[in-house]
Amino acid sequence: MGDQVGDVVEIVMSYETSQEGSDGSSSSSQGTDVLSERVIAVTDDGIELEFDLPPATTAEERTRVWQYPARVLRGVDGEKQLLNPEELEVRLDAWLALTEWDRNVCGQWIFTWNAFLIECDPQSVLETIDAIDMRGVDLRDGAQYRHPGASETGAFTRSVAPDGETVFVVELGADIESVRKSRAESDVVIGEISGQPVTLEEALIERSREDVSGTVEVSFQGDAQGVPTRRVVVTNLKTISPDGVVTTERETRVLERRRVAGAPMVQ
């Protein structure tokens, strides 16, 4: 049996990045985010889910994240619908008031300890939820899989991990044009923050001068019913700049679904 009302899952999203250049430059970063997913209802239309911050989240921490709790209907076709946009709007207004901003700042980038976009659209929460939804993945040897950030579709190969767990792995070519576009968009943001603006077109032209290659390796583990419970995405990129500097980048993103103790068992 699949999802049941009352099921609670802790979703852990972690990342680790590293970058090294032939000019001696290097950098690294890491971080972890956690969400809670609860099954509210199971109907002919699909599954109603509630996504929220972890139970240990303080009231002060909640005031800084207006997107949750978010109730979402995941249709039988995988499409998602936000069911409580009005609640998110109310929390957004409260957050803006707390920060002494108004909606004129929506869509702008600001820099505190890092750069972030001031998002004011409740529907944007669906992008995050889409990125952590593994329900539609077909875990079979030879099954086709397409991953965002990859330029192609590949077939899973069944293998065994060092810990004895069965894993399904696929290696794909990185979508180089998406990489260049993402970097160009970052250049635009940096220019906006630094007071040295650059247009996206200008940034894309500059990034097109780089020689970029890379791979995306994706591996999944699942439960006894074949439902994915863990996904690891490793992206390796090599960039040669016009002046000959070679930069290698590695990013590892891990997504895990952990049943919360005391939640009903899925039979």
Q: Can you give the residue ranges of every domain in the chain? A: 8-259
Cis ω before 69 (30° cut-off from 0):
yes
Number of neighbours of residue 237 by Cβ within 10 angstroms? 18
pLDDT, tens digit, 9 for 90 and up, residues 117-138 = 788 999 999 999 999 999 889 9
- What are the strands, taking DSSP E only, across 187-227? 211-222
CA–CA separation, 32 and 79 (whole Å): 26
Q: How confident is the model at residue 261 (pLDDT cuts 50, 70, 90)?
A: low
Looking at residue 182, what is its pLDDT?
92
CA–CA separation, 212 and 242 (whole Å): 11
pLDDT, tens digit, 9 for 90 and up, residues 24-77 = 999 999 999 999 999 999 999 999 999 999 999 999 889 889 999 999 999 999
Of the two residues 21 and 104, the one the predictor is more confident about is 21
Looking at residue 266, what is its pLDDT?
42
pLDDT, tens digit, 9 for 90 and up, residues 129-167 = 999 999 889 999 999 999 998 999 999 999 887 777 899
Are 180 and 210 contacting, i.e. CB atoms less than 8 angstroms apart? yes
pTM: 0.89
Are 238 and 212 contacting, i.e. CB atoms less than 8 angstroms apart? yes
| pLDDT at residue 221 is higher than 60 | yes
Looking at residue 263, what is its pLDDT?
52
